[in-house]
Structure 1
């Protein structure tokens, strides 16, 4: 017999085109999916779309596709990376190379929403403004976790660093709790670099309260909180309303974060030795990933590391010139993270995913009016690196054609990557979450990428 929750889902999902048979199939698949437990997920996001062919899926047999880089062997026979990723090449035994990611959305904003939430963004129109951050969107991974398994220790379920993804009036979707409401939003940092933006000591400043502002110390904060409490005692009528209760909850949550010495200490990167900071690289990719390791030690469930300030990897112009520093920085930082987690006994409980919203075109060509060529948006076939939390290292899953354009094996969708992340966090994939009209919506309609764990051919 169907439970009431399932019946509600059938009734509420007709507008999604989900029939009873589809629902039962999805629930059965979700229930049968083995659980692969992770205490933390580190999502290394290549904002703008990383060049899979120039990193993890080289195509030397096609001169017009190959580009400037040469293939090199890795620590596992038969697996090749490019010569711009030498450190990760020596750590292939710790990671899986997923070469058959594929979807049909070549747009930055909606593609990012899909990658950061595990769900396709609801259609609101074709312009970028239509796709900007909106409360009608699906929640980020940590936001969904905050709703389904709220913490009682005052800490957030997701920290996003080193910056939010914002470009002018456009705010990238997938960065908050969407229709679940602001009380479940992740905690977002804003990075302020010294000097040229790569070298020197980065300073991480919260844009959503965690460290005390200016000269406001903890004692003064407590005094101000007491004053606010007395004021709020005269606002009982307001606080009794749903909106008032939500505001009070958010205010208490902000206070808990402000005064959490555990989170404040974890975010103080100056507590690391110079040797460790050098190991990750004195650039904001490396220092961001070092901060991620500190948050893993805090057992932060979801840590999103944006490798850039929005479209950093969007190399339409001067592709290889722009990659000159970016690839070595990523190579050093991710390699240090994998080694550091492994040495501390944390890799087995941490799922690390390195991916962009899509890959880049096999062809190399200039845009109109430009002289320096680039690679352009390509969602039809690209690569993710996945490691830790039970993932079987030393393997390649999937294969693209000779051009690196399309999978010739089983394709996997970002929703499947999302299902894998939720499964690692022990979230039932048959779970429903309520939208703003309190209608049940399926959290995710992907399937766990089981070959990551079994090593089975795809």
Structure 2
């Protein structure tokens, strides 16, 4: 019997089970208390340059977030402190550390200063300092905004990543990409609003920590806003291919029948998650065509592939993911997030940091150039950051070849480009030890507020009612838009 011939029987069975478990009342209450709401958004704004969901005209349409999981060392890459050469092997002055919290790995141990062994030089017309470890990215400094005064409350990786991705150290909150999907809606009906691409890692990588789906989850927002994770092997998206013996025609008929059943159920109880299910099933069907076309890079020129470097030929590599990010930007995916792990350098930092930089230097540079060549950089905000920075003092042996650095939330560097951000500038100043912010500090919440602002959203007005509060990505703590970096 065809599924559509039996909808009434199936509906009666589902209704009985729902009512028997008091699910009807629960669903009704959820629909009353949890309806999506973009507070005072300009969804009905008739001004031509204010898109639906925006509070004002945006400078960026989309975001590519390059997340360096594990925390790159700002003092070895972006924030040079040449005066530290005279401080080698000396204890960090108490007037600098001020009794601030440290991790259990260095608590109670002598904090001996280790200056960076890497050379810095001025690059570009702006003359910004860059490390020798990033020769390709150094050619792009005039496009980059360096926020050297980034800071966060988290001192360990899990809360640090969670805070950077969701605005809160407490797990379970919606990710930034989910907030944008909820607030601004979709730009492309054939691909998800929010795509996540973790890099594959090869043997030899050390201290590679796990990633967890809640970093791109929807939290208390409707589940349709969660990120879609692309896989490093096999189908780009899980269960994208039809099972053996099921062709596209059969799949279409199955979805039509299932959609009728779900629509009937929605009319009875009004649970918004039913509509989410219908929409996601239809999206999955369209993705069976759109995703293979997206991930097929055979139409890219040899010049483009060479620009991203030799690893672009390896599915799941950071280089391949950077190229796919540009292809997604072309297709108007709203939020594209790459995760590249392996930056947690407690030991052997000089060796391991070189390897990490080799992974990301050329592909990141190629992404910026490629976006610009395709006319996409002006309205694509690119962010490059980790969850915190690294300490000026040494961890492990005080040896220029084997030293490591501990976690440091007090100051670190984030790079921004495109999307209405000024290029060729530094914002914020740190002390002579790259330990404390001296001026123009930027908390992670401030970065989130600024990113939303560039997308045309007032962070104070993008809200969702949950647990008696109008929840926001930036939470209830003070936060500000860093207007100094906006072009």
TM-score (norm: length of structure 1): 0.77
Correspondent of 1:258 among 264, 273, 285: 285
> What's 1:81 paired with?
130
Runs of 4+ in structure 1 deviating by more than 6 angstroms, as ranges, are: 167-170
In 2, the alpha carbon distance for the partners of 1:171 and 1:108 equals 12
In 2, the alpha carbon distance for the partners of 1:147 and 1:184 equals 6
Correspondent of 2:149 among 94, 100, 103: 100
> What's 2:368 paired with?
338
Q: What is the 5 A alignment of 1:175-254?
A: 175-192=216-233, 205-207=236-238, 211-213=240-242, 220-230=247-257, 233=260, 238-240=265-267, 245-254=272-281
> What's 1:4 paired with?
none
Cα offsets for 1:437-458 (capped at 9, x unmatched): 464223425322111125xxxx
Deviation of residue 70 (structure 1)?
Answer: 1.0
Contact in 1 for aligned 2:222/2:273 (Cα 8 Å)? no
> What's 1:160 paired with?
196
Question: In the alignment, does 2:434 pair up with 1:407?
Answer: no
Deviation of residue 230 (structure 1)?
Answer: 3.1
Distance 1:75 1:440, change over 3 A: same
> What's 1:275 paired with?
303
Cα offsets for 1:340-372 (capped at 9, x unmatched): 1112221111111100110111122218xxx94
Secondary structure of the structure 1 residue equivalent to 2:442: coil
Deviation of residue 188 (structure 1)?
Answer: 1.1
In 2, the alpha carbon distance for the partners of 1:362 and 1:251 equals 52
Deviation of residue 177 (structure 1)?
Answer: 1.0
Deviation of residue 282 (structure 1)?
Answer: 2.8
Secondary structure of the structure 2 residue equivalent to 1:252: helix
> What's 2:450 paired with?
420
Distance 1:159 1:147, change over 3 A: same
Deviation of residue 326 (structure 1)?
Answer: 1.1
> What's 2:182 paired with?
147
Greater C-alpha Rg: 2
Give the number of aligned pairs: 389
Secondary structure of the structure 2 residue equivalent to 1:50: coil
Cα offsets for 1:120-174 (capped at 9, x unmatched): 233xxxxxxxx5xx3xx1x222211222233372432211113599x89872643
Question: In the alignment, does 2:168 pair up with 1:120?
Answer: yes
Deviation of residue 397 (structure 1)?
Answer: 0.8
Contact in 1 for aligned 2:56/2:457 (Cα 8 Å)? no
Deviation of residue 231 (structure 1)?
Answer: 5.4
> What's 2:404 paired with?
374
Correspondent of 2:65 among 35, 43, 46: 43
Cα offsets for 1:169-198 (capped at 9, x unmatched): 872643111111322111111113xxxxxx
Distance 1:255 1:162, change over 3 A: farther
> What's 1:59 paired with?
81
> What's 1:359 paired with?
389
Deviation of residue 234 (structure 1)?
Answer: 5.5
Deviation of residue 412 (structure 1)?
Answer: 0.4
Contact in 2 for aligned 1:401/1:407 (Cα 8 Å)? yes
TM-score (norm: length of structure 2): 0.72
Secondary structure of the structure 2 residue equivalent to 1:361: strand
In 2, the alpha carbon distance for the partners of 1:257 and 1:235 equals 16
In 1, the alpha carbon distance for the partners of 2:196 and 2:263 equals 34
Contact in 2 for aligned 1:47/1:306 (Cα 8 Å)? yes
In 2, the alpha carbon distance for the partners of 1:287 and 1:394 equals 27
Question: Structure 1: which 5+ runs fail to align?
Answer: 1-11, 13-32, 123-130, 193-202
In 2, the alpha carbon distance for the partners of 1:103 and 1:408 equals 15
Secondary structure of the structure 2 residue equivalent to 1:57: coil
Question: In the alignment, does 2:448 pair up with 1:448?
Answer: no
Deviation of residue 275 (structure 1)?
Answer: 3.1
